[in-house]
Amino acid sequence: MATTRPFPKAFPRVASASRVVTTIDIISTENQGFVMPVSTSQTAHQWLSTGDGIFAAMLSAIDSARSSVCLEIYIFAPGPCGERFRDAFVRAQMRGVQVRVLIDAFGSMGLPDSFWEPLRAVGGEVRSFNPAAWMRFSCRDHRKLLVCDERVAFVGGFNIASEYVGDGVRSGWRDLGVKLEGSLAISLASSFAEMFARAEFRHKHLALLRRFAAKRPAVRPTGQIFLSEPGPGRNQIKLSVHRDLVRAREVQIIAGYFLPTSQLRRDLVRLARRGAKVQLILAGKSDVWLSQLAAQSLYRRFLKAGVQIFEYQPQILHAKLIIIDQVVYAGSSNLDPRSLRINFELMIRFQNRVMAGEAREIFAGDLKNCHRIELDAWSKSRNLWRRLKQRVACLLLMRIDPFLASKPWRALPD
């Protein structure tokens, strides 16, 4: 069993802030057949803006847990970071805490099943979501969620892998998470329980999800949790962002993978032309080359409209953050076709002035490590071959990948 070692001190970026927000409802997308109510009691939040800070806070919560620990993650990689979490799970289970872990079969395909033997030996449960099969290969659980004692929860873009260890500037991928304490954690624990149960049935629920289509239209309370799924029906994350953009005056987005729908693209262009402040921090370095090329195919139109584009330089950008006036979105969803049409995602929408102000401080901190893209220089740098690569990448990710991924849904009977 590996020895737990302390994480290095996080590089100072933006001071962690702990505040109180109020949440009202948890809303499923139209792809889903459930809506879970959330109490209106208050929920405290704390932004965690480095991998070191995220992991240290998560491990502390696991070590403090007294009744339950639930982890849902897309990538759980072998190595020192993964071993620290596994050992924390083992310690928790040995002191009587119920530990359940849900990993995505594709995202965590590099993790041998034997890795979990120490946890299973003491009674912990580990399940793999949607084992790879040709007809359902693309339907992935991309959510990132840790809930301890139904009291404290963590959501964001982070995975459990050594690439995220660091400060996002000198080392480690740049990511972002938020810690939530209060009644919101109860609803997040319920959403985990459903996904954990689904994993047991090896996705025989595909036809069932088909029957859930077009149910439960979203309402627009002060705070929402969106649980999106693949399949027919409109994605409520996309619809909610669109509605918030209609009359927006100030928009900041951090997106490691950026290929929004045509509607959201029109929204951003229209706002910039109208004189609204629209700023995007996108990937200067990426682990998905096609995604970066596809995003760059959109630059010229955005820049001509007045959208400010910045590329994050020091490390690979993996964070997901949307700020629209006093509204903040945080969670696992990217603004790309996979998140908005194919994957299982979890996104939280807060309408809170204090939280939006703190999010803007995080955005401003990242701007210091960005290179601004200027229209003239960008136009001169794009030769025919580069434009062709960008357009092909956009076609592959915007059209072909969603078409192939939707094949299992199209094959199901009405």
pLDDT greater than 80 at residue 271: yes
**Cα 266 to Cα 242: distance, rounded to the nearest angstrom:** 10
**Percent of the chain scored above 70 by pLDDT?**
80
**Cα 267 to Cα 20: distance, rounded to the nearest angstrom:** 31
Residues of the domain holding 67: 18-411
* Range of weakest confidence among 215-224, 267-276, 393-402: 215-224
The structural domain count of the chain equals 1
Question: What is the structure's pLDDT at 342?
Answer: 87
pLDDT greater than 80 at residue 223: no
Has residue 11 been placed in a domain?
no
pTM higher than 0.85: yes
CATH of the domain at 324: 3.30.870.10
Has residue 5 been placed in a domain?
no
Has residue 132 been placed in a domain?
yes
Compare 383 and 292 and report the one with higher pLDDT.
292
Has residue 109 been placed in a domain?
yes
- Residue 104, beta-bridge partner list: 129
Has residue 333 been placed in a domain?
yes
Condensed to tens digits (0 to 9), the pLDDT of residues 245-257 reads: 999 999 999 999 9
Question: What is the structure's pLDDT at 348?
Answer: 95
**Nearest CA to 258 among 318, 206, 303?**
318
Condensed to tens digits (0 to 9), the pLDDT of residues 300-327 reads: 999 999 999 999 999 999 999 999 999 9
Has residue 6 been placed in a domain?
no
**Cα 245 to Cα 39: distance, rounded to the nearest angstrom:** 27
122: left (phi > 0), else alpha (psi -120 to 50), else beta? alpha
Condensed to tens digits (0 to 9), the pLDDT of residues 112-170 reads: 999 999 999 999 999 998 886 545 567 889 999 999 999 999 999 999 999 999 999 99
Element containing residue 254 per DSSP (H, E) = strand 250-255
pLDDT greater than 50 at residue 212: no
Q: How many CB atoms lie within 10 A of CB 68?
A: 17
pLDDT greater than 80 at residue 65: yes
Has residue 9 been placed in a domain?
no
**Nearest CA to 118 among 110, 126, 109?**
126
Question: What is the structure's pLDDT at 101?
Answer: 98
Residue type (1 letter), 165? V
Question: What is the structure's pLDDT at 137?
Answer: 60
| Confidence grade of residue 222 (pLDDT, cut at 50, 70, 90) | very low
pLDDT greater than 50 at residue 213: no
**Cα 274 to Cα 409: distance, rounded to the nearest angstrom:** 40
pLDDT greater than 80 at residue 10: no
| Confidence grade of residue 381 (pLDDT, cut at 50, 70, 90) | confident
Has residue 2 been placed in a domain?
no
